[in-house]
Amino acid sequence: MQWSGAILAGGASSRFGQDKALYVYRGKPLIAWVLQSMAGASESFVVANRPYPGLGTVYPDLRQGGDTLTGLHAALAHARYDWVAIAACDQPFLTQDFWQFMLSQARPDRRAVVAASGGFFEPLGALYHRSLEPEVLRRLELGEFKMQALLHSIPLVVLDKEALEARFGPHLFLNANRPQDLPDF
């Protein structure tokens, strides 16, 4: 199956204290770990409102103010393939095997494949179908920016977060808000 990989790097990194996409962790920038996890994608790109030389194609947000939903919209609008893997630039524990597993769970009658625990969906480290773009745009135009609300309103494949972490690693869905959030190995 052909698929697109999109890395969201549009945040201000204010709690991190520097551009977290470029923060060197275990020998390379955080965003490089995420790009490596998407090496099997038919295309991959970054969604950010600043340039990232040397990281391939970078698209800006097409709308402003919606945080993750804004990045998701830009990713879906620019993707060439139906299924789009969406990750944050600070999720270095995602792997190629993880994305292949997620793709194996995609179904034509569903619009996303996400992990969940206790009723909370993990909106990043998830797959979204490109056909969601008009709905995401509608929500942005209405000022409805909550990813959880979107995910609760669309047909999903829901996977158990704990089972995924047992299979692919306990830090799978970690996104680092501060350098000290990253584990030392």
Question: Where along the chain do its domains lie?
Answer: 3-178
Identify the pLDDT of residue 49: 85
- Pairing state between β 112-117 and 156-160: parallel
Cα 170–Cα 174–Cα 51 angle in degrees, nearest 5: 145
Alpha-carbon gap, residue 84 to 75, rounded angstroms: 8
Q: What is the mean pLDDT of the chain?
A: 94
Q: Assess whether pLDDT exceeds 70 at residue 80.
A: yes
Identify the pLDDT of residue 137: 96
Q: Assess whether pLDDT exceeds 80 at residue 17.
A: no
Identify the pLDDT of residue 149: 97
Q: Assess whether pLDDT exceeds 90 at residue 139.
A: yes
pLDDT tens digits for 21-53?
A: 999 999 999 999 999 999 999 999 999 988 899
pLDDT tens digits for 98-129?
A: 999 999 999 999 999 999 999 999 999 999 99
Beta bridge mates, 112: 128, 156
The strand order across the sheet containing 3-8 reads 58-59, 43-47, 3-8, 83-88, 120-129, 112-117, 156-160
Task: Classify domain 3-178 at the CATH topology level.
Answer: Spore Coat Polysaccharide Biosynthesis Protein SpsA; Chain A (3.90.550)
What are the phi and psi torsion angles at 32 (to 5°)?
-65, -35
What predicted TM-score, i.e. pTM, was given to this entire model? 0.95
Q: What percent of the chain has pLDDT over 70?
A: 97
